[in-house]
Structure 1
Amino acid sequence: MKSRKFYISVFILFLSVFSVFGQTRKQLEEQRKKLNYEIKQVNSLLFKEKKKVNNALEDLNDLNRKISIRAKLIATINSEARILSKEIRVNETELKELRKKLADLKEDYADMIFKSYKSKSQQSRMMFLLSSQNFHQAYKRLEYMKQYTDFRKKQGEEIVHHSNEVQAVNDSLLVQKALKDKLIVSEKDQKKEIEVDKKHQEKLLATIKKKESSYKRELQSKVKAEKRVTAQIDRKIREEIERANRIAREKLKNAPTKPKSVKKNEFILSPEAKALATKFELNKGKLPWPVSEGIVVRKFGKQPHPSFPGITVNGTGLHIVTKQGQDAQAIFNGSVLNVLVSADGRKNVLIQHGNYISSYNNLEKTYVKKGDTVVTGQKIGQIFTDKVSKKTKLIFVLFKNTTRLNPSSWILRR
């Protein structure tokens, strides 16, 4: 394992964020704010607490996460500054044209006023009318004088309008230039921070290199342990479905209509349960997070380990790190299917929503019991905080019957 691999991964990340160039400045501004917030969350949730024992591998993963977010932020700032530069150039050209037009208007207006003054000194308006040869000519001369007065007024108003336009464009330029200067300063700050993080990254890589085989064994042991826990949860869910179906069949034994046959490991749903499942499905992508605040440190699905090529990590759901003392919250109305307890005392609350199940694992204590009815947002248990790593992590898993779903597709995007 060489540090070069990590720099290559960072370089690939920079390439992946080039897509931001096609976005509007408003979109980039929103993305910049979001990334700044993510960095604050990472610092608060992953780096704020001082750990009793440092784990170089875990620390490296956290640091890589922060570096990747900073890289995206720098790319976003660069794109936003580039768009601002274009806007400034367009506005400078517009300002130049507006100033020239304003100067021409003022010159024409001054020339007209001068000619009008000369005309008044030679002959008054009354004399101009009285010298008419007939009534028709006098009427025409009166109309001309009215039109001339209106034209002077219109030219004056046009000068005022263009003066305001020049001022507005000038003010906009000043704001844009100030924002660009601010972005440049922000970019320099982020580059300094990322350099500090990279130096720390190199130290961690050197530490891991010295004990690479030891870290690999530890990691492989954790992967195996996670697989055992996953298998136990899967087995328990199958048992719960079977138990629920036995009860359902017993209730429907004497019913006039027999329930439709269902596949193995699928819930037999009552009309009420079907309605609940339908509502759950209609809220796909709009369901609340199971924690009020947190960041995803492991996504759903199989993924290569960020530090050790060849080792695959399987995300059965979302691993969300949150603040110490935080509670897990129900993502939708439902009933508690079961509360599982692992060998080390950690608890896992399973909530049924028709034929969907939401799982809240790694709880220190629970506020609900099997059979309880829960509502959206209800606190169901306090999340466990590891005394060594100081991390408070919820493992949130979503099922349809026994099939795992990607929770990211169901909860709100942050």
Structure 2
Amino acid sequence: MSTFSQTKKELEQQRKKLKKEIAQVNSLLFKEQKKEKNVLEDLKDLNQKIDVRLRLIRTINSEARLLSREISKNKKEITKLEKELLALKTDYASMILKSYKSKSQQSRMMFLLSSQNFHQAYKRLEYMKQYTSFRKKQGEEIGVQTDLVKKMNDSLLYQKQVKDTLILSEKDQKEKIEIDKNNKVKLISTIKKKERKYKREIQNKINAEKRVAEKIDKIIRDEIAKANKIANAKLINKPKITKKNEFVLSPEAKALAAKFELNKGKLPWPIEEGLITRRFGKQSHPTFPGITINSTGLHMVTQRGRSAQAIFNGKILNVLVTSGGRRNVLIQHGNYITSYNNLEKLYVQKGDNVTTGQKIGQIFTDKVSGKTTLIFVLYKNTTKLNPASWILKR
């Protein structure tokens, strides 16, 4: 397969993936019934939709440029083939004419009988056979070349149709972006009228998230200390292992952690289907760039009524109940821990062993925004890692 074909295939796959993502954004962020108007959430959702559409347009443009290059290359190839075909036809016509003239002047038999000796007659016979064979071969070559030119023309026509479709798709996305941008301007105007109030709300939410994160961090430290105390108690007449904020692992736990590491980038998502609405790490607030969000993990939105699923075999380390009755489940995989926050119903309890893909609890659906959001965090001992680097790319 050529480099062009590989790139083209990748772009086609990317375009399909982005179209699916737009469908998910519309379904998960805009079709859910909302009890109240929340301009900050609406603006955030609109920004995400615009961002996906812009990425789709960039992909379409790249695909269209590649097709333009392929069309240009094919046109040159067709011109070359047509010249070769014309030369073949001219040569063949000349040969047929000479053959016709030869037949009109003397028959083949006379040509052979006029030979001076047997050897010359044999040579003339061989010449006539070769001449006939050459004419046949040249006729076949013309047929092959004609078929090749036709196929190239058909391919060129198809590529032009694909390119036209891509251009129409790009135009459609641009029109939709313009509508979204107009709605964005209106939302920003509304927000600016009560900017101080909204900033206060955001800061309160950030502080609440920070408090939950601190509680989870403390639970993990306490669990590590407790587990290490039990491990050290088993070491009779042996030097005690002291590792601050790191699990002392048994051979089985080490093996489990090693398997977890081997699956980096291939681990399943903690939700069956959905999309990421907030990435990991420090980032500017989408509405107020002056406010910084420190995201402990990934915020994933899914369909109402869906459950969180364990991404790997492990053991329920602890369950935290936050204010508002929301639950956070911690699963230990050796010295790795996965955290599933914002659950309303649990199907597991502390100490349970779980397997990859097992449902651990139903995700809470916010009655105001209508969103079903899972907050997924990954730790190695007490250090937070970027979960996006560990789960499958979608």
Is TM more than 0.5 here?
Answer: yes
AA paired with 2:27? S
Return the alpha-carbon distance in structure 1 between the equivalents of residues 380 and 72 of structure 2: 55
Name the residue aligned to 1:408. Answer: 388
Change beyond 3 A, Cα 1:165–1:353: same
Deviates more, 1:209-218 or 1:75-84: 75-84
Matched, 1:133 2:113: no
CA distance in 2, matches of 1:295, 1:384: 16
Alignment-mate amino acid for residue 296 of structure 1: I
Give the aligned partner of residue 222 of structure 2. 239
The code of the aligned residue for 2:103 comes to K
Which of 222, 228, 240 in structure 1 is aligned with 2:211? 228
Aligned pairs for 1:338-357 within 5 A: 338-357=318-337
Which digits, 9 at most, give the CA deviation of each residue in 1:216-238, with x for residues without a partner?
00001111111111100000111
In the aligned structure 2, how far is the partner of 1:161 from the partner of 1:251?
82
**2: CA distance, partners of 1:200 / 1:182:** 27
Which residue in 1 is equivalent to 2:283? 303
Q: Which residue of 2 aligns with 1:60?
A: 43
SS in 2 for 1:336: strand
Match of 2:99 among 102, 112, 116: 116
The structural deviation recorded for 1:262 is 4.2
Aligned residue among 230, 233, 241 for 1:250: 233
Partner of 2:58: 75
Residue equivalent to 1:211: 194
Tell me by how many angstroms 1:260 deviates: 7.0
Q: Name the counterpart of 2:241.
A: 261
Shift of 1:30: 2.0
**1:276 matched to 2:271:** no
Q: Is the 8 A contact 2:232 2:241 kept in 1?
A: no
Aligned pair in 2 of structure 1 residues 377, 140: CA closer, same or farther (>3 Å)? same
- Between the aligned partners of 1:407 and 1:71, the Cα distance in structure 2 is 25
Shift of 1:298: 0.8
Name the aligned partner's letter for residue 333 of structure 1.
Answer: N
The answer for the alignment partner of 1:187 in structure 2 is: 170
Q: Could you say if the C-alpha distance between residues 45 and 117 of structure 1 is closer, same or farther in structure 2, counting changes exceeding 3 Å?
A: same
Give CA-to-partner distance per residue, 1:181-230, whole Å, 9 cap, x none. Answer: 11111111111100100110011000000000000000011111111111
Unaligned runs of 5+ in 1: 1-22
Provide the residue aligned with 1:26 in structure 2: 9
Q: Indicate how the Cα distance of structure 1 residues 230 and 129 shifts in structure 2: closer, same or farther if over 3 A, else same.
A: same
Aligned residues: 390
Write the letter of the residue equivalent to 1:405: L
| Cα distance in 2, alignment partners of residues 78 and 352 from structure 1 | 45
Question: Using the alignment, how far apart are the partners of 1:259 and 1:69 within structure 2?
Answer: 57
- The residue type paired with residue 164 of structure 2 is D
Quote the Cα distance in structure 1 between the aligned partners of 2:240 and 2:135: 87
1:348-404 Cα offsets, whole Å, 9 max, x none, are 111111110011110111111111111111111111100110000000000011111
Once structures 1 and 2 are overlaid, which stretch shifts more, 342-351 or 117-126? Answer: 117-126
Of the three residues 182, 201, 206, the one matched with 1:199 is 182
What is aligned with 2:33?
50
Inter-partner Cα distance in structure 2 for 1:309 and 1:361: 26
8 Å Cα contact 2:321-2:328 kept in structure 1:
yes
Q: What's the CA shift for 1:135?
A: 2.4
Aligned partner of residue 24 in structure 1, secondary structure: helix
Quote the Cα distance in structure 2 between the aligned partners of 1:307 and 1:26. Answer: 36
Residue 154 of structure 2 corresponds to residue 171 of structure 1: yes
Identity rate, percent? 71
Question: How far does the alpha carbon of each residue in 1:37-79 deviate from its partner, in whole angstroms, 9 at most, with x for none?
Answer: 1111111110011311011111101101111111121122122
Distance 2:235 2:99 in 1: 102
Return 315-324 or 118-127, whichever deviates more.
118-127
Tell me, in whole angstroms, the C-alpha distance in 1 between the residues paired with 2:239 and 2:126: 93
Q: Matched residues in 1 for 2:240 and 2:130: separation?
A: 88
Give runs of aligned pairs for residues 261-410 of structure 1, distance below 5 A.
261-410=241-390
Which residues of structure 2 form unaligned runs of 5+?
1-5
Residues 302 and 259 (structure 1), Cα distance of their counterparts in 2 relative to 1, 3 Å cut: farther
Shift in Å at residue 86 of structure 1?
2.2
Residue identity opposite 1:105 in structure 2: L
Q: Which amino acid aligns with 1:337?
A: L
1:169–1:262 distance in 2 versus 1, CA, 3 Å: farther
Aligned to 2:131: 148
1-side partners of 2:360 and 2:235: how far apart? 32
- Partner letter of residue 60 of structure 2? I
Give the match for residue 3 of structure 2. none
TM-score, length of structure 2 as denominator length? 0.95
